[in-house]
Amino acid sequence: MRNVWLLNYRNMGDSDHHSSFEMDDISADIVRFMDDKKLTMATLGGHGFGAKVALATAISNLDRCTGVINLEGGPVDHRFHEAYQELESYV
């Protein structure tokens, strides 16, 4: 069993609004959330820009991340890859 947390990063949805939309600042927000919740390790995931945020956070915090689930996070058309089709069927 895993706990799942769904976050709206800064300037999105009901989250806090800040003047900075820098990736380093958004990643720091996620790490701060993990610290607040006493999460020592996490698998991060996201869709679109959220996938880029998850990847950037993981790269900057390799000691805190067990993996990244990246759904449509780049210019590659994933629709024809078998793994993407399987994952999409669950979403």
CA distance 60 to 28: 9
More confident position, 13 or 22: 22
Residues of the chain with pLDDT > 70: what percent?
92
Take residue 36 and report the two structure tokens written for it.
């607040």
Helix (H/G/I), strand (E/B), else coil: 31: helix
Instruction: Assess whether pLDDT exceeds 80 at residue 72.
Output: no
State the sign of the Cα–Cα–Cα–Cα dihedral 32, 35, 41, 44. negative
Closest CA to 32 of 11, 61, 70: 61
Which residue's entry shows tokens 């720091």?
28
Q: Is the pLDDT confidence value at 27 over 70? A: yes
Q: Which residue has the higher pLDDT, 73 or 32?
A: 32
What's the whole-number mean pLDDT along residues 49-57? Answer: 91
